[in-house]
Structure 1
Amino acid sequence: MTSQNATLGAQAGNETQVCVIPGGVPITIQNATSWSQVGCLEGFYCANNSAQHLPQYCPPMPSCQDLRLSGTPCPPQGLFEPVLCDPGYYCPNGGTQKIQCPSGSYCPHGVASPIKCTVGSRCPAGSQRDMNFLPLGILLLVDIILITATVMEKLRSRYKKSNFHQKRESRRSAFMAKGAGRFRNRDYQEIDERGHPGFQEDVENDFQMEPRIMGPRRAKTGFEQIGELEADFVLHEELNKDDGGQKTDLHLFVQSLSKCLGATKFGLSFEFQDLGFKPPKSNKKILDQVSGTIHAGSLWGVMGASGAGKSTFVNVLMGKQAHTGGVTKVNGVAGKIAKYKKIIGYVPQDDIVLPELTVRENILHSARIRLPSNWSDSEIQHHVDILISCLQLSHVKDSLVGSTAAPVISGGQRKRVSIGMELAAAPMAVFLDEPTSGLDATAAASIMSTLKALSRLGMTIVTIIHQPRQEIFESLDSLVLLGQGRMIYCGPETGIQPHFQGLGFDFPDHTNPADVMGDIIAGEGRHYKPKGDASVQYLIDYWASKQQDGSANENFAKTATISMAENNALSATVKARGAPWFKQIYFCFQRSLVQQYRMKSSFYFELGVGAMAGFLIGLAELNQKGQNFRGIFNSPYDLLSVSIDYSSVPQMALLVGLAIGLTASAPGVKIFGEEKLVYWREAAAGHNRFAYYIGKVVSTIPRMVLANFHFTTMFMLLSTPRIPYLSAFIANLLYFYCIYGLASIISMVTRREDGPLLAVMMSLIVGVLNGMSPTLKKVRSWHIVWIWRASPGTWLAEAYFTENISPLRYLYQIDMAKQTAGYLLNMFGDDLLMMLAIGTAYRIVAFLGLRFMWRNKQR
């Protein structure tokens, strides 16, 4: 302000001075004959009417400055000096007027005209900031909808559960009236809600569902509805016997398999010669010189003592282990077995299923991904329903699977779900790692009965099994026995006892031959062979000698020769398998959304943390009342500027970044960190890895939007910065995007239990690297500014700096502030693009980690 703008008074004797407070409000000081009598009123422009006393600015006294630095007001100016048009007022006409801000507008510090409030704001007369309540109203409406939907679902679930229990009790009463014996003889059947015959109780409930395997030469299998199926089961002949009656579930399942495979036999044969495996950092071979043949359409058991190499053998045979030696053939053709993984199922020992999905949803997803791409959705749905009925899971198909820590269905049912996920893909061979582990005897018999039936359909079933009961052992067609990583026996189950008896071992009467054999191959054979060599090495050497003279496979029929036409058909079958990648993205996206919806507690917790973080950060900024920047006034008022504040906006951005990091880091880790096993299983089964990852990433967008909505709304309502709400929302959302991406990287390289803590720490680091302290100007002098520019926190702070400072260009020299802080101005769009790019780069790194780390588990 200049003397021309001041109202100068001249009276005789210099008894009157007019002092103009910056902002245009004149104060007349009378009875002062000289300037020394008046004294220097700090912060005032005092105009004297004589040539000897020109207008001058009086700086604050040291004592007053000390008070201001400690946050204590010093009259008459208060905390902020100088005051250019008080907040709540606007000063037009060059500052010569001071008018209260009208209703519907707000007037921050130093404006010449009122600023219209946005829609939904409460702006009474004299408002100095824009408090917009519209986002809060929308937020409350969204929360009410979410809570109402959750409550309605819980009520519907309770009603359904109550109905189910009533129907079950009714069925049980009817059953008891008919007699339990009829149920066990399978004379009693029910029609489930889809119209398929099935049973409504699990083997682990009050009534037995599956028949027991009663003897070593039992002709019928677990699926007795179809009758006696031989190993040379011919599909078309069986299906052509259509007498017009209702087909059983197994008939329908076989028909579905036939449509998928296009062949009369469903199995694959495997020949292996001199298989070996030596860990990269070990000189000792875990597996060595293992040779044999696994014929198609049979049920095989792989047995041995702990550490004998059972799992290693299966992994090497399936191509899951690198550093192998030897040759494997599939249907007589040598090559890598991995190229057939789309038609080979693998059921791990641990039931790797998604606990948030139902029984049917787990199996359906596998079918949609792995069945031929030309199948319609209705065909896939029908295939899955038939399979669920065959697996005796119809009565629990809509139940959540649950976790092992919090189970919903029984262990036997969970195991059948895991098997069903592989059978849904219509494989030609299935490998299982201890499918009866952790199950009671009845449930184990049920599982093995199912596998026996599948082998009679022509599938090749290879299962690692440990200490089976006698009925299970005698249901196996053939066995591979291993000891110390070497072959002890490979042949029919019927040849086991004669083989060991020929070596001098006795099998006592009334004992389980599986237990006797288990003791022998574990090195405890002395109990059954008092004299002679009973060591495991002796068994290995004996079998090696039999292989050399060609008598090892005398009990086996020669492997059938596979024609070139059949090989071509097999290759065509493999190529036709699997949905296109874009469909897989959609299926993975849909599944992930369902998972997040089912994990409501985690979802609501994230929203609550976001809202609380926004509230606390907004509360910290509440005293600023929207004024978070003070700079050097534009000329000619620059001399009035004594108190500058360039750090409040970067500090606000720092708090925002830290709050978002704390809100999003742990959920971001959970998206992938808890599903590594699922991913490894699906990747090994031929699922598209890129589709899985993109589907998961896209599914997090609604979650990020809602969490950011809660955070930004609470933060903006209390802090009321100059940045528009929409701009702050987009900037914050992109920062959420970055933190989720960073958390994805963390989840790839750490254990699940360590991931959340490390992700929080990393989010704090990238939040602190935002250019506030040290400033970007200082960092640039160290020549390491690229480190700060690699952090999304810097781009968030720069975006906030631009949007909060640029509107004040009319008042302050903001270019000077830009140079001091080191940020760039008028680059808001570029700042947003850089956060988008950094978040995407994080995801690319995470995907590379997902794809190339633990590669042996994805084979």
Structure 2
Amino acid sequence: MSRVSDNNAEDVEARTCKMKFQTEPTLPIYLKFTDVTYKVIIKGMTSCEERDILNGITGAVNPGEVLALMGPSGSGKTTLLNLLGGRLIQSTVGGSITYNDQPYSKFLKSRIGFVTEDDVLFPHLTVEETLMYAARLRLPKVLTRQQKEKRAVDVIYELGLERCQDTMIGGSFVRGVSGGERKRVCIGNEIIINPSLLFLDEPTSGLDSTTALRTIQTLQDIAEVGKTVITTIHQPSSRLFHKFDKLILLGKEFLLDLANGNLTDISVPSELEDKVQMENSETETGNGKPPPAVVHEYLVEAYESRVADTEKKKLMAPLPLDDELKSKVSSSKRQWGASWWQQYCILFCRGIKERKHDYFSWLRITQVLSTAIILGLLWWQSDSKTIRGRQDQAGWLFFIAVFWGFFPVFTAIFTFPQERAMLGKERAADMYRLSAYFLARTTSDLPLDLILPVLFLLVVYFMAGLRLSASHFFLSMLTVFLCIVAAQGLGLAIGATLMDLKRATTLASVTVMTFMLAGGYFVKKVPVFISWIRYMSFNYHTYKLLLKVQYQDIMPTVNGIKTDSGLKEVGALVAMIFGYRFLAYLSLRKMQLHCEA
């Protein structure tokens, strides 16, 4: 009995949270678009071809309404949605798109929620953590952290996610929430800012009929409190279809079964039957099925004769707007939800939380420790007192320089290509500055990068019988850490510049191999015309520093390499650490400017 009471209490609390959140005032935005066209230029081998993606699209949607963009794959639904949401290059757009009778402005970024077709979420964060970070980054600065987190809790209850709020989102290799719950988390990420406009691209894709109906009902509930909702949908059931207030058909859409000529299953207008009979008599097919061209012609004619004039008159009607609503929408000032420092701190914490699972997976720990044990056994208590023994140890030190140069490069390559979709999505919503993201992303790896090398050296250093003093051990550790951060910078730069994993991996393989060969162990005397390569090699500088740490006070030259002060090597590694990262940042900035052009 008490259990039933508890459940009832939870339901009441959930409904209360939902009501509190949904009754918050929303800035009403009336969206109109007239004769919208969009073309792309396709470059061929010998010439360029212009292709129409959208041609003469007209419509309007008001606060409190749900507009559905319906059509087959490739009909331009997503393109139109991106245009209306301000996410495509405006210079190639024809026609007019207005928000409260004003053109698109940067202010609208903070008033628009945009749910992409693909669920772009971090797999290792829980539902609650995902929404908490979104709230802290996107909600206005005037709210305290407690108020922002309270908003995230309200959204969790509003969308019925309270039972899975402590469950990881999951992904390809991580078990997590269901598809419907993932979609609701994506919607929650957007409605958390109480948007005036909510765009959704195929929100029912991959969902069963019951979950799809629940999702569309959620959109209807969102619209009822004064929000303007626009969604694309491919092939809705009749139950879903009746949930929409308005409909736009795109790309020669032949209304499902009617398009396939299944006349026995549906009612066909008499005018279309006449056209079909006439067409069949002319072609002598007599199969009773309307050709697609006939259906398309009928739909266009019916729209032009019965609907077009009425709809265009509605578009010309004045909107119930005052000057204040117009001036708010036309503001060009961006509204950040947090200061630069707050953005950095939030993204830093999120980065550590998301990536600690990958860094400390059993596979990676086993890889590092097994390598350390094998090295320790091969160089077990090696002798540093003889020339032969020092040469053996020099080989061990060079392997350390290669291993901790190779490993971070190929880990860092994946960083930006894998997060490209997330970066694009969050930057399009003005969640944070690119500089805050970049610095947080590159520094949140540093604490994680230090732990495994420390474990590695703790195992192998003493097994190999190197110099047993705290200063020698910590200087060796510092040298390895400099190598890791420099190599990581190279991986970040290659990944950010190419943004393609196959090409990036190929370039990194050639570069790392070249740096290894020029690292001072395999070739002692490099020809003058190519000797400059070794000074670009972090393996070379790391190897020289490790030799210096172990042997500088014993002998000035080991294995043909001088053990000087080491300042040049440290300076070179530090220059690589900052130089490669600066190149990566410039590449990301160029990519972002190209997307926003």
Distance 1:332 1:825, change over 3 A: same
Deviation at 1:613, TM superposition (A): 2.8
> What secondary structure, in the 3-state scheme, does the structure 1 residue paired with 2:94 have?
strand
Deviation string for 1:400-432 (max 9, x for gaps)? 121256542222111101110111122211111
Q: Does the aligned pair in 2 maintain the 1:267–1:429 contact within 8 Å?
A: yes
User: Within 5 A, what are the aligned runs for 1:560-709?
Assistant: 560=319, 562-570=321-329, 575-599=334-358, 602=361, 604-622=362-380, 624-627=382-385, 651-687=395-431, 688-709=433-454
Which ranges in structure 2 are unaligned for 5 or more consecutive residues?
44-48, 277-285
Question: Match for residue 279 of structure 2?
Answer: none
Q: Does the aligned pair in 2 maintain the 1:364–1:381 contact within 8 Å?
A: yes
Q: Does the aligned pair in 2 maintain the 1:273–1:328 contact within 8 Å?
A: yes
Distance 1:532 1:330, change over 3 A: closer
Q: Does the aligned pair in 2 maintain the 1:196–1:389 contact within 8 Å?
A: no
Deviation string for 1:359-407 (max 9, x for gaps)? 1111111111111112101111111111111111112111112125654
Question: Match for residue 57 of structure 2?
Answer: 290
Deviation string for 1:782-841 (max 9, x for gaps)? 2x33322122112112212333342025xxxx3xx49x9465711x24422321221232
Deviation at 1:741, TM superposition (A): 2.2
Deviation string for 1:696-725 (max 9, x for gaps)? 222211211101101222232133445811
Question: Match for residue 360 of structure 1?
Answer: 128
Distance 1:543 1:276, change over 3 A: farther
Question: Match for residue 190 of structure 2?
Answer: 422
> What secondary structure, in the 3-state scheme, does the structure 2 residue paired with 1:740 have?
helix
Q: Which amino acid aligns with 1:457?
A: V
Deviation at 1:327, TM superposition (A): 4.1
Question: Match for residue 64 of structure 1?
Answer: none
Calculate the aligned-residue CA RMSD, in Å: 3.9
Q: Does the aligned pair in 1 maintain the 2:408–2:484 contact within 8 Å?
A: yes
Distance 1:268 1:553, change over 3 A: closer
2:165 maps to 1:402:
no
**Structure 1 counterpart of 2:9, from 160, 183, 191:** 191
Q: Which amino acid aligns with 1:197?
A: E
Distance 1:794 1:399, change over 3 A: same
Q: Does the aligned pair in 2 maintain the 1:348–1:432 contact within 8 Å?
A: yes
Q: Does the aligned pair in 2 maintain the 1:613–1:659 contact within 8 Å?
A: no
2:534 maps to 1:534:
no
> What secondary structure, in the 3-state scheme, does the structure 1 residue paired with 2:117 have?
coil
In structure 2, how many angstroms separate the alpha carbons of the residues matched to 1:406 and 1:507?
47
Deviation at 1:331, TM superposition (A): 2.3
Deviation at 1:481, TM superposition (A): 1.2
2:45 maps to 1:299:
no
Deviation at 1:441, TM superposition (A): 1.1
More helix by share: 2
2:520 maps to 1:771:
yes
Deviation at 1:618, TM superposition (A): 4.1
Deviation at 1:465, TM superposition (A): 0.6
Q: Does the aligned pair in 1 maintain the 2:120–2:422 contact within 8 Å?
A: yes
In structure 2, how many angstroms separate the alpha carbons of the residues matched to 1:528 and 1:561?
49
Question: Match for residue 475 of structure 2?
Answer: 727
Deviation at 1:461, TM superposition (A): 0.7
Question: Match for residue 215 of structure 2?
Answer: 447
Q: Which amino acid aligns with 1:275?
A: T
Worse overlay, 800-809 or 690-699: 800-809
**Structure 2 counterpart of 1:831, from 564, 569, 572:** 569
Q: TM-score, normalised by structure 2?
A: 0.83
In structure 1, how many angstroms separate the alpha carbons of the residues matched to 2:387 and 2:342?
51
Question: Match for residue 458 of structure 1?
Answer: 226
**Structure 1 counterpart of 2:485, from 710, 720, 737:** 737
Q: Does the aligned pair in 2 maintain the 1:318–1:337 contact within 8 Å?
A: no
User: Within 5 A, what are the aligned runs for 1:194-209?
Assistant: 197-198=13-14
2:578 maps to 1:844:
no
Q: Which amino acid aligns with 1:448?
A: I
Q: Which amino acid aligns with 1:741?
A: G
Which ranges in structure 1 are unaligned for 5 or more consecutive residues?
1-166, 176-187, 199-224, 226-247, 490-495, 521-525, 631-644
Q: Which amino acid aligns with 1:677?
A: A
Q: Does the aligned pair in 2 maintain the 1:629–1:649 contact within 8 Å?
A: no
Deviation string for 1:63-113 (max 9, x for gaps)? xxxxxxxxxxxxxxxxxxxxxxxxxxxxxxxxxxxxxxxxxxxxxxxxxxx
In structure 1, how many angstroms separate the alpha carbons of the residues matched to 2:138 and 2:294?
48
Deviation at 1:647, TM superposition (A): 6.3
Deviation string for 1:584-641 (max 9, x for gaps)? 1111111121123344752x433333333333334444464124758xxxxxxxxxxx
In structure 1, how many angstroms separate the alpha carbons of the residues matched to 2:511 and 2:246?
54
Deviation at 1:304, TM superposition (A): 1.1
In structure 2, how many angstroms separate the alpha carbons of the residues matched to 1:274 and 1:298?
21
Q: Does the aligned pair in 2 maintain the 1:372–1:579 contact within 8 Å?
A: yes
> What secondary structure, in the 3-state scheme, does the structure 2 residue paired with 1:283 have?
strand
Which of 1 and 2 has higher RCO (CA within 8 Å, sep 6+)?
Answer: 2
User: Within 5 A, what are the aligned runs for 1:342-381?
Assistant: 342-381=110-149
Question: Match for residue 282 of structure 2?
Answer: none
Q: Does the aligned pair in 2 maintain the 1:801–1:825 contact within 8 Å?
A: no
Question: Match for residue 796 of structure 1?
Answer: 542
In structure 2, how many angstroms separate the alpha carbons of the residues matched to 1:444 and 1:738?
49
> What secondary structure, in the 3-state scheme, does the structure 2 residue paired with 1:284 have?
strand
Distance 1:463 1:612, change over 3 A: same
Q: Which amino acid aligns with 1:565?
A: E
User: Within 5 A, what are the aligned runs for 1:162-311?
Assistant: 174=4, 190-192=8-10, 197-198=13-14, 248-255=16-23, 257-258=24-25, 265-281=27-43, 282-311=49-78
Q: Which amino acid aligns with 2:248?
A: V
How many residue pairs end up in the alignment?
A: 569
Deviation string for 1:280-325 (max 9, x for gaps)? 4242222223233333332110011222111121123333333622
Deviation string for 1:95-141 (max 9, x for gaps)? xxxxxxxxxxxxxxxxxxxxxxxxxxxxxxxxxxxxxxxxxxxxxxx
Q: Does the aligned pair in 2 maintain the 1:309–1:483 contact within 8 Å?
A: yes
In structure 1, how many angstroms separate the alpha carbons of the residues matched to 2:155 and 2:177?
18
Q: Which amino acid aligns with 1:368?
A: R
Q: TM-score, normalised by structure 1?
A: 0.59
Q: Which amino acid aligns with 2:227?
A: M
Q: Does the aligned pair in 1 maintain the 2:127–2:167 contact within 8 Å?
A: yes
Distance 1:269 1:512, change over 3 A: farther
> What secondary structure, in the 3-state scheme, does the structure 2 residue paired with 1:291 have?
strand
Deviation at 1:540, TM superposition (A): 4.8
In structure 1, how many angstroms separate the alpha carbons of the residues matched to 2:153 and 2:391?
64
Distance 1:443 1:528, change over 3 A: farther
In structure 2, how many angstroms separate the alpha carbons of the residues matched to 1:659 and 1:413?
42
Q: Does the aligned pair in 1 maintain the 2:384–2:393 contact within 8 Å?
A: no
Q: Does the aligned pair in 2 maintain the 1:279–1:285 contact within 8 Å?
A: no
Percent of paired sites with the same residue: 23
Q: Does the aligned pair in 1 maintain the 2:105–2:332 contact within 8 Å?
A: no
Deviation string for 1:556-575 (max 9, x for gaps)? 68251644422333466964
